[in-house]
Amino acid sequence: MATTTTTDPQTLATRLRVDSVRLCDAAGSGHATSSMSAADLAAVLLTNHMRCDFTDADNPHNDHLIFSKGHASPLVYAMHRAVGAIDDDELLTYRQTGSRLQGHPVPLLPFVDVATGSLGQGLPVGVGLALAGRELDRLDYRVWVICGDSEMAEGSMWEAFEHAGHEGLANLTAIIDVNRLGQTGETRHGWDLEAYATRARAFGWHAITIDGHDVAAIDAAYHEAVATTEQPTVIVARTMKGRGVAAVEDQLNAHGKPVADAEDSIAELGDPGPIEVKVASPSNGKGRHRFQPVGDADPPRYELDGDPVATRKAYGEALTALGARRGDVVALDGEVSNSTHSEEFAAAHPERYFEMYIAEQQMIAAAVGMQVRGWTAYVSTFAAFLARAYDFVRMAAVSRADLRLCGSHAGVSIGEDGPSQMGLEDLASLRAVHGSTVLYPCDPNQAARLVEAMADLEGISYIRTTRGKLPTLYGPDEKFPVGGAKVVRSSPRDRVAIVGAGVTVHEALTAADSLEQEGVHARVIDLYSVKPVDVHTLVAAVRECGGRLITVEDHWPEGGLGEAVLSALAGAGVTQARVTKLGVQGMPGSGPPAELLHEAGIDAQAIVAAARELAQD
Amino acid sequence: MATTTTTDPQTLATRLRVDSVRLCDAAGSGHATSSMSAADLAAVLLTNHMRCDFTDADNPHNDHLIFSKGHASPLVYAMHRAVGAIDDDELLTYRQTGSRLQGHPVPLLPFVDVATGSLGQGLPVGVGLALAGRELDRLDYRVWVICGDSEMAEGSMWEAFEHAGHEGLANLTAIIDVNRLGQTGETRHGWDLEAYATRARAFGWHAITIDGHDVAAIDAAYHEAVATTEQPTVIVARTMKGRGVAAVEDQLNAHGKPVADAEDSIAELGDPGPIEVKVASPSNGKGRHRFQPVGDADPPRYELDGDPVATRKAYGEALTALGARRGDVVALDGEVSNSTHSEEFAAAHPERYFEMYIAEQQMIAAAVGMQVRGWTAYVSTFAAFLARAYDFVRMAAVSRADLRLCGSHAGVSIGEDGPSQMGLEDLASLRAVHGSTVLYPCDPNQAARLVEAMADLEGISYIRTTRGKLPTLYGPDEKFPVGGAKVVRSSPRDRVAIVGAGVTVHEALTAADSLEQEGVHARVIDLYSVKPVDVHTLVAAVRECGGRLITVEDHWPEGGLGEAVLSALAGAGVTQARVTKLGVQGMPGSGPPAELLHEAGIDAQAIVAAARELAQD
């Protein structure tokens, strides 16, 4: 069928429904009915309101559209087809191996900014994009987010409502597709549009309730949203799942599957055939904004004979200097900037610092939104509290996002505050993020250099900093390549190698001293790059230290430094190695750091004992 | 000083402040000022409203008090002292090694139900306790939760407001200590009490705003809360951090530390000396409610020659039968019960099933609250979406909670839905929870038996189920001890051992068949218990299979089954082992399960290739 061009939202909406049915039918799976409910909302957006050059995804003035209800991917792809971003052949590769048109959207497609499919994330990311538009890019693009009604139960949505409402992000419009039906039954609020509107208004939003199948009402609501200059707007739209096909319309059992009889359904919808729609061009306002260098751009240097410095302090100082050198660097923190030391960046670069308050999910999502626009985002909080946003970090990897995370106060070495603040699982959880980099410095120069290196890393990178001050082991000009390790102590007579990172490097050095008294020479390896890991240094240590290796980490025994070492050795085909793994034993309590390190079995004394045992054979 | 008994809240409040100052002074750290702001709110609660037998923590009729703002632990312990639950000597062990009085509360103390200190968790747990009181215990105890104003930014708080408001949990009272100041600056809403009240009302709560230092106003508000029978009540109280000591009162720089001059401060407060308060006894209503067996209590049995059955289906059937046998078993699900199959439990035991909608944090917290009251809670959703509640699972371990988690649809083997739904990090993140058990069945009988075993496990246990149907490998009478493994194929001529779990066990068996064609005999081990792991079976395999081992898992290469095996072998002092670790390579897309298993490099073909390479030497 020949493609016709239309400006009529109703005609476009029909074709979007037809394509949604076609895609799911071709794939044999997919959320056809959840796409059909939002088709009118999408059609009016494309024909009358969105301003985007679909021939140039890099146009900084383009509006952004995020499908927070990512399962409505058939509608996303039907829209791509309608604007000419993909052709009909590709459209029908939906959900096939190797296709860009996956079950849930991923940014392999030029006009998909982020992956969605874990509900409750699209709106928080939209808040980040809207913040970027107003505060960083300083351009007048608009951010549109199509949300499901089921995902309104996610707390992260309310972190987004709170942040956007308080910030008055007028460039953000949320559209809630209230089709009443979730996966297993009716949603908590069904078609009670006011339930959503009242909540949104309480959080400072302008709320409009409409019939989501009345194109005139939708058009008026979008105009009202654009005309609202002091608040973000939420449009709460009453819709029907499966709209347009009687067999599935408003039917519970029709969730998440193709429509039974595609051909009849398409006929029932009244297929107008292939449709192309001309979308308004973005305003050609001023060019992209960048910040000018401010303050002292010299990387911090810590002298070898200087006072001890906490790696978290080095994080703040290195990030601040980096921010002076690079106008693309921004920082976010979860109301602990005086603990993580991002407060120093905030003082030097207030325009590029974002206080996210105690809302870690929104914090990560905001950073994801900002990196969509090319900003280099560093996000910091206690390592323990990054666990709060683990699903957001997981999804950021699916989004191919470049994100820099800093978790401070990691380990039992924080002392008196106790286990709720320790984050003893961070190395394991962050290693298990696809393509991640995991760094764990033991001295201020190392921390500073690694913070600088993170700026140019792809994917999710994580740096673990510690609360207590640590002596300076390395000179200010030392290099710390990602994927490397440092042999901080060795001799030709080494009979055991001790592999640590962060605080345990210092425990290992103390242990090596006392072992030497006993005539046992120990090599000490600083494994500051936990992922990727320096296989060569580890293999050499096994070869040169009689196959005896001790790993010691201020972390649970599972999934951290010790298992990273074991995997590296296994991957290198090393046999003949005797590895003793030391990690935190038992649930810690409160107490002085030294006592907690001892109780956990990861202090110098524990290392010495392990080395003695290994050295016996 | 002699202890005097008082019924005067003002006198008690003063002593609670004095003790808060004393504790932090003795410890040299701690949140004195955040305790002082809430002292009047706490004192009125103890003197006039809480009904609790502080000599009998097991009295089912006791009210419950949760400090969602766990950093105010000095106040928690001062209250314990005032009710006689601890003595003055123990009080002064605050934050010392081995003390029950940790930096943040943990349930080592009889009247601390759960650990707090990760903000935004106490109220969601309170919702779970209130649900338990009304729906399960059917007793009229009341749940009081003292919240901080900073934590109102956490989305999890609004999951709690939404759930409690919609459920009309009148037995729940939240008290927000609006002391205006966070850690780094003023909170988003400062002393704007209406900002909180308006939001709470929008979520269906009865909200009262008061001066949190006016004992009469506090008393009236508590009476009003108790008299409110259709809604939960939130009391939004304007307070001052450091109240009563001019040097720190309402001062930003006084956060999270002792008061500078303790002696003068105590004098300024006007120390009444040691105080004891008589707290009202709980009502002696009817005894504790338990459910009667309903439905078919016979454990499901799957015949060896039967049709394939998905392990998620076996989860639902086993849990349903278990629920018929045991009245203490309850189930919660995040609006995917028709995917996880907890819907079968819901149908058989509707009074013990809780639909938590798409709010995973509140779901886990509710289960934690229910297990406080002795209920055996099973919580299910997609494995991917458990990541949303990772911080809650982490804290549940600090709470010494017994919790059973089921993550369904784990792995690339789900196919077309794509990576956002796969949960390829769950084994790593759940292994890295202190004291956790991680189970991963490969057949329906095994899944059913493990579900039954979880009922009596302590701590956090996790079962990973898969979407697709799997053939039955084991008979219905087979036993599967936690910590065990099954050798499903072996011969005296084995030259390589293949260790898998779940879907990869079946891939391993296929691989073993084709390897046998090539004259390479392979042992196949089903490592259904990923933590704890069966060291003996693994060590024997290394010994008897020429030291050649292949691990294969439908999970990222980090922190999962493969590293569990490597750790076990290292712990057993095994050398001479050549281990090839197969896990998901690259970011998966959508596609048929078999194609995704192949692309990930974890199918039979990949195993065969790895075995050939190993067998060469």
10-residue mean pLDDT series, chain B (617 residues) = 90 98 96 97 98 94 98 98 96 96 96 97 98 96 98 98 98 98 96 98 98 98 98 98 97 91 97 95 78 89 94 98 97 98 97 98 98 98 98 98 98 97 98 98 98 98 98 97 98 97 98 97 98 98 97 98 98 93 97 97 98 89
Cβ–Cβ < 8 Å for B570, A581:
yes
| d(C-alpha A66, C-alpha A104), whole Å | 12
DSSP state, A186? B
The identity of residue B326, as a single letter, is R
Distance from CA of A336 to the nearest CA of B (A): 6
Residue A286: pLDDT over 70:
no
The identity of residue A150, as a single letter, is S
| d(C-alpha B327, C-alpha B289), whole Å | 10
> Quick one: which of A176, A121, A252 has its CA closest to B385?
A121
Residues of A in contact with B345 (CB under 8 A): none
Using CA coordinates, name the residue in chain B closest to A346: B184
Other C-beta atoms within 10 Å of B459: how many?
15
Using CA coordinates, name the residue in chain A closest to B395: A420
The pLDDT of residue B305: 85
Cβ-nearest to B184 among A203, A337, A390: A337
Residue A460: pLDDT over 70:
yes
Residues of B in contact with A398 (CB under 8 A): 419-420, 587
* Contact: A157, B155; criterion CB under 8 Å: yes
What does the pLDDT look like over A209-232, one tens digit per residue?
999 999 999 999 999 999 999 999
What does the pLDDT look like over A289-309, one tens digit per residue?
889 888 889 999 999 988 999
Bridge partner residues of A382 (DSSP): A408
The identity of residue B263, as a single letter, is E
Cβ-nearest to B563 among A355, A435, A567: A567
The reply to whether A605 touches chain B by the CB within 8 Å rule is no
| d(C-alpha A161, C-alpha A414), whole Å | 34
The pLDDT of residue B600: 98
Cβ–Cβ < 8 Å for B187, B37:
no
| The length of chain B, given as a count of residues | 617
- List CB contacts of B502: < 8 A, sequence separation 6 or more: B311, B410, B411, B440, B441, B442, B464, B466, B554
Bridge partner residues of B310 (DSSP): B469
Q: Say what percent of chain A tops pLDDT 90.
A: 95
Using CA coordinates, name the residue in chain B closest to A166: B188
Alpha-helical runs (H) found in B374-484: 383-386, 390-398, 426-431, 444-454
C-alpha dist (Å) from residue B535 to A49, A164, A563, B530:
63, 52, 16, 11
Cβ–Cβ < 8 Å for A95, A27:
yes
Sheet holding A172-178, edge to edge: A64-67, A143-148, A172-178, A233-238, A206-211
* Contact: B384, A391; criterion CB under 8 Å: yes
C-alpha dist (Å) from residue A531 to A208, A540, A562, A568, B328:
48, 18, 12, 10, 44
Using CA coordinates, name the residue in chain B closest to A116: B420
- For residue A238 the two structure tokens come to 């009453």
Looking at chain B from residue 71 to 130, which residues have their Cβ under 8 Å from any Cβ of chain A?
95-99, 102-104, 106, 115-120
The pLDDT of residue B437: 98
Task: Give the pairing of strands A529-531 and A437-439.
Answer: antiparallel
End-to-end CA distance of chain B: 79
* Contact: A153, B166; criterion CB under 8 Å: no
Using CA coordinates, name the residue in chain A closest to B102: A590
Using CA coordinates, name the residue in chain A closest to B161: A155
Minimum mean pLDDT range among A1-10, A83-92, A439-448, A522-531: A1-10
Distance from CA of B258 to the nearest CA of A (A): 13
Secondary structure class of B407 (helix, strand, coil): strand
Secondary structure class of A463 (helix, strand, coil): strand
The reply to whether B571 touches chain A by the CB within 8 Å rule is yes
Residue A1: pLDDT over 70:
no
| d(C-alpha A273, C-alpha A4), whole Å | 8
Looking at chain B from residue 454 to 513, which residues have their Cβ under 8 Å from any Cβ of chain A?
none
* Contact: A566, B571; criterion CB under 8 Å: no
Residues of A in contact with B115 (CB under 8 A): 419-420
Mean pLDDT of A494-517: 98
Q: How many CA atoms lie within 13 A of A211 on its CB side?
A: 6
Secondary structure class of A106 (helix, strand, coil): coil
What does the pLDDT look like over B514-535, one tens digit per residue?
999 999 999 999 999 999 999 9
Residues of B in contact with A599 (CB under 8 A): 97
Q: Which of A154, A317, A344, A360 is catalytic?
A: A360
* Contact: A95, B384; criterion CB under 8 Å: no
Distance from CA of B433 to the nearest CA of A (A): 7
The reply to whether A184 touches chain B by the CB within 8 Å rule is yes
Alpha-helical runs (H) found in A377-470: 383-386, 390-398, 426-431, 444-454
| d(C-alpha A134, C-alpha A533), whole Å | 40
Residues of A in contact with B74 (CB under 8 A): none
Substitution target in B69, B381, B416 with the highest count of A β-carbons within 10 Å is B416
Residues of B in contact with A74 (CB under 8 A): none
The reply to whether A562 touches chain B by the CB within 8 Å rule is yes
* Contact: A358, B154; criterion CB under 8 Å: yes
Q: Which domains does chain B have, with CATH numbers?
A: 4-276 (3.40.50.970), 309-470 (3.40.50.970), 486-615 (3.40.50.920)
Q: Which of B151, B159, B162, B360 is catalytic?
A: B360
Q: Say what percent of chain A tops pLDDT 70.
A: 99
H or E, element range at B80: helix B73-82
Residues of A in contact with B106 (CB under 8 A): 418-420, 589
Cβ–Cβ < 8 Å for A159, A220:
no
What does the pLDDT look like over A413-442, one tens digit per residue?
999 999 999 999 999 999 999 999 999 999
* Contact: B595, A97; criterion CB under 8 Å: yes
Using CA coordinates, name the residue in chain B closest to A600: B97
Residues of B in contact with A397 (CB under 8 A): 587
The question of whether B343 is a catalytic residue gets the answer no
The identity of residue A514, as a single letter, is S
The identity of residue B431, as a single letter, is R
Cβ-nearest to A159 among B153, B531, B587: B153
Confidence of residue A151 (pLDDT cuts 50, 70, 90): very high
| d(C-alpha B608, C-alpha B614), whole Å | 10
Residue A283: pLDDT over 90:
no
C-alpha dist (Å) from residue B448 to B8, B11, B262, B326, B566:
57, 58, 59, 15, 28
Other C-beta atoms within 10 Å of A101: how many?
28
